């Protein structure tokens, strides 16, 4: 176990060093959520006036939506990094070392989780500057962060799986473009479920993006609904574990093919 942990730490540290050496990418990670927050915040701010919306401040309502959209969009590109390592031969060289194979995949997940956490904190702070209120306090914000990490894990594992199977950038780009906006808009990220058409509410009920939103908003309210947090959080955790297992099996298949 000690070896496994140390290998995961070493591999994660290696990936973070590569990330830090790309300042433009790091800047985009932090600036993009701000653009979404203020763009959507100003575009849709008057929808709270619609009967049945159920929120007094659209900014307060929007914060979890921007968080989950950021988690999905940033983690969907994880497969590009995996594909780049395969194309450069880095992955094959790693497979000749004694590093634990599971540590290679775990490092990718930990790196994405850390990036997601930084983005969530940035959005929360931007929200405070803009005047958002968090009646759920630290507990609610913690649930929001954990939900974003679990959601990001689902999509980073999916992206890694696609990268190892397809081994084509165009495939990853195409799938990301196809999934991002439908998954976001078929959820309560920007619009209250009560105002959605019936068929959209049905789809949202099976959408992991909406699970994260339900868990976060239930915890961030002045009167937290911890039952909803546990149920939706449990679904997110189960989906994240399932996708990690799938990506691990795909990685083992890749090992046998080289």
Say if residues 59 and 45 touch (Cβ distance below 8 Å). yes
| Residue that is written with structure tokens 């500057």 in the block | 129
Buried b (16+ CB within 10 A) or exposed e, 37-66: beebbeeeeebbeeeeeeeeebbbbbbbbb
- Tally: H helices and E strands in the chain: 11, 0
Residue 1: is its pLDDT beyond 60?
Answer: no
Identify the pLDDT of residue 69: 92
Closest CA to 63 of 4, 130, 1: 130
Residue ranges per domain, the chain? Answer: 2-257
Task: Please report which confidence band the pLDDT of residue 107 belongs to, taking 50, 70 and 90 as the band edges.
Answer: confident
Total-model pTM:
0.89
| Residue that is written with structure tokens 């009560």 in the block | 194
Vertex 233, ends 206 and 188: CA angle to 5°?
50
DSSP sequence for 46-74: GGGGSTT---S-HHHHHHHHHHHHHHHHH
Chain segment 199-230, per-residue pLDDT in tens: 999 999 999 999 999 999 999 999 999 999 99
Chain segment 139-175, per-residue pLDDT in tens: 999 999 999 999 999 999 999 888 888 888 888 888 8
Identify the pLDDT of residue 112: 83
Identify the pLDDT of residue 110: 82
Identify the pLDDT of residue 204: 95
Identify the pLDDT of residue 169: 84
What lies within 8 Å, CB to CB, of 200 at 6+ separation is 186
Whats the size of the chain, residue-wise?
258
Residue 4: is its pLDDT beyond 70?
Answer: no
Tell me how far apart the alpha carbons of residues 58 and 63 are, in angstroms, rounded to a whole number.
9
Closest CA to 236 of 207, 200, 196: 207
Residue 42: is its pLDDT beyond 70?
Answer: yes
Identify the pLDDT of residue 154: 94
Identify the pLDDT of residue 26: 64
């Amino acid at each position: 176990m000690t070896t496994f942990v140390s290998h995961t730490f070493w591999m994660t540290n290696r990936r973070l060093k590569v990330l830090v050496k790309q300042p433009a990418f790091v800047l985009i990670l932090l600036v993009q959520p701000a653009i979404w927050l203020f763009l959507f915040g100003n575009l849709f701010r008057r929808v709270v006036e619609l009967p049945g919306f159920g929120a007094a401040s659209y900014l307060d309502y929007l914060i979890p939506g921007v968080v989950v959209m950021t988690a999905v969009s940033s983690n969907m590109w994880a497969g590009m990094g995996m594909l780049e390592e395969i194309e450069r031969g880095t992955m094959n060289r790693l497979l000749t070392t004694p590093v634990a194979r599971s540590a290679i995949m775990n490092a990718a997940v930990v790196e994405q989780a850390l990036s997601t956490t930084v983005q969530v904190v940035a959005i929360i702070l931007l929200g405070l500057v803009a005047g958002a209120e968090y009646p759920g306090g630290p507990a609610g914000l913690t649930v929001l962060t954990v939900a974003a990490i679990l959601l990001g894990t689902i999509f980073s594992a999916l992206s890694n799986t696609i990268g190892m199977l397809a081994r084509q950038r165009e495939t990853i780009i195409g799938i990301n473009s196809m999934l991002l906006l439908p998954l976001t808009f078929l959820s309560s990220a920007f619009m209250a479920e009560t105002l959605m058409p019936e068929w959209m509410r049905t789809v949202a009920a099976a959408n992991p993006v909406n699970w994260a939103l339900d868990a976060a908003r239930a915890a961030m309210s002045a009167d937290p609904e911890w039952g909803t947090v546990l149920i939706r959080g449990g679904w997110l955790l189960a989906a994240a574990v399932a996708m990690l297992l799938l990506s691990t099996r795909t990685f083992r298949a890749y090992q046998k093919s080289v």
